[in-house]
Amino acid sequence: MKVLVTGATGFIGFHVVNVLLQKNLHVVALVRKRSDASPFMPLNVELIEGDIRDYDSVCRALKGCQEVYHLAADYRLWVPDPERMYETNVRGTRNIMQAAMQLGVQKVIYTSTVGTLASSLNGKMSDENTMNELKDMVGHYKRSKFIAEQEVCQFIKKGVPVVIVNPSTPIGSMDRKPTPTGKIIVDFLNGRIPAYLDTGLNFVDVEDVAVGHWLASQKGRIGQRYILGGRNITLREFFESIAGITGQKSPRVRLPYFPVLMAAYLDEGLSRWVTKLPPRVPITGVKMARKYMFFDCSKAARELHMPQHSIEGAMERAIAWFKDNGYIAKH
Query: Does this model's pTM top 0.85?
Result: yes
Percent of the chain at pLDDT > 90 equals 68
What residue segments make up the domains of the chain, in order of their start?
A: 2-173+202-230+294-309
Checking if the pLDDT of 77 tops 70, the result is yes
DSSP for 24-86, written as a single string: T-EEEEEE-TT---GGGTTS-EEEEE--TTSHHHHHHHHTT-SEEEE------S--S-HHHHH
Torsion on CA atoms 134, 139, 143, 145, rounded to nearest 10: -140
From the list 23, 30, 26, the residue with the least C-alpha distance to 9 is 30
42 vs 250, higher pLDDT: 250
Fold category of 2-173+202-230+294-309 in CATH:
Rossmann fold (3.40.50)
Question: pLDDT-derived band of residue 120, with 50, 70 and 90 as boundaries?
Answer: low
Looking at every residue in the chain, the average pLDDT score rounds to 91
309 vs 269, higher pLDDT: 309
Question: pLDDT-derived band of residue 302, with 50, 70 and 90 as boundaries?
Answer: very high
Average pLDDT over residues 21-47: 87
In angstroms, the CA 183 to CA 166 distance is 21
In angstroms, the CA 110 to CA 259 distance is 38
Span 230-267, pLDDT tens digits: 999 999 999 999 999 999 999 988 888 888 889 888 88
Span 185-219, pLDDT tens digits: 999 999 998 888 888 999 999 999 999 999 999 99
Residue 257: burial class (beta carbons within 10 Å; 0-12, 13-18, 19+)? middle
Residue 98: burial class (beta carbons within 10 Å; 0-12, 13-18, 19+)? middle
Span 145-174, pLDDT tens digits: 999 999 999 999 999 999 999 999 999 999
